[in-house]
A and B are shown apart, each in its own frame.
Chain A
Amino acid sequence: MNSFNLKKYKSEISKCVKCGTCTSICPVYRETLQESVSARGKMSLIEAFLEGEIGASSILDKRLRQCVQCTKCIEECPNGIPVDIILFSAWRALKEKLPTPLWKNFAFEKALSGAGIPAAAGFLYRNFGGLSAILPVEALKRKVSRRKPLKFKTTKLNSGKKIGFYPGCMIDSMYPEILSYVREIFARLGYEMIIPSRLVCCGLPQMSTGNVELARRNALVNMNAFKDAKVDVIITACATCLSTVRKKYPLLLEDTPALKVYEKFMDLSEFLAGEKGLENFPEAEGKFTYHDPCHLARELKIKEEPREIIKKISAGNFAEADSSELCCGFGGSFNFENYSLSMNICSHLVKALKDTGAETVITSCPACMWQIEDGISRSNSGMNVMHLAEFVLRGALNADTDKR
């Protein structure tokens, strides 16, 4: 795959003029103050690696992987260096020399790429959470409050229109209830939700271990599945999946134009913001704030739509946090390998969210949810975290309960 060939980026890397703008916004740099984790440090390391000055050392591997993939550096870089693509290519090049640790290979490559496996693993994790105490991975010992999935007597408004939905691994494994919320929202708006079988992970975790080939295979499986499903629009409720599909699939599938199904992908908020039917949804009670997932707000510039929806349904009881610049610090495998650093990054966000006085934090990404729930439980700030899909139904659910 030519798009992820590191050597191809030599001239892009040399555009780094070492101005240091990236050090002003990189969450990992700001926490560690270590030059080698900043984008300009990473570019220097990759340059030295390409020139043969350094080899594929474990320090190189560690520093290049200390990235939350928030893409802030790309947004701010005066020379528009595609840091993310360069890093994916570098991780790929390093994988040839340094084998991926077995646990990582199993968890992020094998398991996530098998249809149904994340859901099964998530079921075990959620229902036998006690087991996580014996796991060697600190990140899995997090105390995350579990809400019982809400049961719906699905409203009969179905107009026969069909909408595709791509859940992704995080919803499949950690937050399957989001699936039922989305189905209910669609039903109330008069749509039927189609989820093709055979779907697998979007590919980002595999790209992050450097296995671009496997990510491409997953992209092919997913796009073929939706091609056969014949839907006009495909919704996701995961910011990370959407950014991968929209921004990385064109590169992963550049030689397969027949599979441009990725152009039909939309975020749930983009879709709902244009739906008139949303006005009939009862208002939710409480005070709310919103966390911008990096992959949605920065990479895809989707910031206004979720706010529009929240303002509509919360009767204006919405407080903007002083945190539009803050990343939750999750970053997928970054969190597993740098757990305390990841949680330190999260603590700044939790403080900003808490300062709004809101009881509930809404967000559009299950990965951010998992991280923020952990951050909140560590700070004992007593807020709830809720996916936008659940929030949209909050008022309706309360109204239903009152009627009963």
Chain B
Amino acid sequence: MISNAVKEELRKIAGKDNFFDEIEERICYSYDGTTFKSKPDIVLKPANAQEVSHVLKVANREKIPVVPRGAGTGLSGGSVPIEGGIVLAMNRMKKILSIDEENLVAFVEPGVINEEFQKEVERRGLFYPPDPASQKMCTLGGNIAECAGGPHCLKYGVTRDYVLGLEAVLADGSIINTGGQVMKNVSGYDLTRLLIGSEGTLGVVTKIVLKLLPLPEDRRTILAAFSTMERAAETVSAIIASRLIPATLEFMDGVTVKVVEEFLKIGLPTTADALLLIEVDGKKEAVEIDYEKIMKICKDKGAVELKGARTSGERENLWKARRAVSAALGRICPLKLNEDVVVPRSKLPLLITKVKEICTEFGIKSANYGHAGDGNIHVNILIESRADDEMKKVEPALEKLYKEVVNLGGTISGEHGIGFLKSKYLALGAGVESVNVMRKIKDALDPNNILNPGKIFAVNPSSLSGEEKINSPRPSLTKRGDNSLSKGARKRVRGKE
């Protein structure tokens, strides 16, 4: 429990209108896009880096967990305060500080919404490509914490590739500036990249310097339907093998197509077993050539339906459908695990087959979609009930999936992060030695383990042997008396009991 005196101290830092400890408010900062819940003790909404620094000094002194939170849309539980403590809701810091059109660089605060930023730079003929499906609501700070991806990352790279510098507050309250606003920088270790994807475990980002590109002159979007998933996967491989890198190369299976069509009613071919959503962009003439080439490959590979989006409205509808998939799966299933495994792209057809085999073997259902072009597929395990036996089937199936992915040369998370849902498998995805280095970095920067505890690392890896690490139990989510993790989450966290 946090004492009243400490609460008073924190209330003074953020101001009484930005401090909340009522149970009603705490409930609303207990979840993220995974639907797993655990209440914080306090919610604070800081206005600037100084306030964040003051809060962290107090938290470090008192050893109170601090969980930075953007929009709470994450899919690995990264912003769920599983050990209680303070949630730092960063969305009040939402200013686009400046857009430098001479140097194609932007300075922003972490609470800026991804899509609002994209629109603002596009108005100036500029382009910020990372576009996670939650871009309408997720924040750039959250994107950095999880190193978010999105459809456009196939051609343009992920969040990491657009961050030039950061201002961040460390666990002891010190404020550091990493990188800068220049395109090249080898003045020492790359601390910017260390913070990107660190899921709030190393510091709280308070300012971001982003690189921008010129807005592509033209774009065209293709919708191709296939009678089997394998054919769609082969088409993807054929496109990449013919030295074409479209801006996006998205894939949706039959289940997901039916679900979004039920929501949006925009005339998607619901009888198809797989859809590809392909977009090419660039100079007008080049776009025309690539468009024709891709249309031909789709035809040759046996697309049963093939059409281009003619208007920007049609294009917007297709993308709306793609972005709605994850949430709309709630229509057929109350609980799901949205995985983001990634394999070398040529292995995609093999991965699809493996997923099918695993589902059959364990008697579970899955819905699959994602960024086929870069081998990053969202395997969504559909959990039809929160009953024990249903949950028991899921854990070993997931473990098998992760092992297959690693065998194919891939890893367990492409863009959602480890959070706490995958922490048990970190060593599998990153390798034992790497995890040990990660842990040393964490210990050096946050010796009291106050920054987002229980995320990324399940347990202290140095005390266990390699094999045990992979099957180590997850951290208890009921450590602090007041936490109410949902039944399903508790089961999931405890794993095999």
Contacts and interface: CB of A to CB of B under 8 A. Distances in A.
A36 B24 contact: yes
A316 interface: no
Contact of A36 (B25, B31, B73): B25
Contacts of A102: none
Given A48-B27, A59-B22, A35 B72 contact: yes
B71 A23 contact: yes
B484 A53 contact: yes
B257 to A, nearest CB: 14
A343 B328 CA distance: 34
Contacts of A44: 27-28, 30-31
- Chain A: number of interface residues, binned into ranges: 20 to 34
Contact of A45 (B27, B113, B115): B27
A348 B24 CA distance: 29
Nearest to A30: B113
B330 A78 contact: yes
B259 to A, nearest CB: 9
B33 A79 contact: no
Contact of A24 (B136, B331, B336): B136
Given A23-B137, A53-B484, A80-B263, A35 B28 contact: yes
Given A23-B71, A24-B136, A79 B31 contact: no
B33 A17 contact: yes
A57 interface: yes
Contacts of B113: 24
B368 interface: no
A136 B123 CA distance: 45
A258 interface: no
A76 to B, nearest CB: 9
Given A20-B73, A59-B22, A78 B28 contact: no
A21 B28 contact: no
B437 interface: no
Interface string B38-81: 00000001000000000000000000000000011100000000
Given A19-B327, A24-B136, A45 B28 contact: yes
B71 A20 contact: yes
A216 to B, nearest CB: 30
Nearest to B333: A17
A79 B330 contact: yes
B24 A79 contact: no
A253 to B, nearest CB: 29
A18 B136 contact: no
A312 to B, nearest CB: 25
Interface in A14-59: 14-21, 23-25, 33-36, 38, 41, 44-45, 48, 53-54, 57, 59
Contacts of B22: 57, 59
Contact of B73 (A19, A33, A45, A78): A19
B263 A15 contact: no
A54 B137 contact: no
A34 B17 CA distance: 11
A34 B72 CA distance: 12
Given A17-B33, A33-B92, A54 B328 contact: no
18 contacts: A17-B336, A18-B33, A19-B134, A19-B330, A20-B134, A21-B136, A21-B137, A24-B115, A25-B136, A34-B25, A35-B25, A35-B29, A36-B24, A44-B27, A53-B27, A54-B23, A80-B263, A80-B331
Given A14-B334, A18-B34, 8 more contacts: A15-B330, A20-B71, A24-B113, A24-B115, A35-B28, A48-B24, A57-B22, A59-B22
* Top-6 shortest CB links A-B: A19-B327, A78-B327, A78-B328, A24-B136, A35-B28, A24-B137
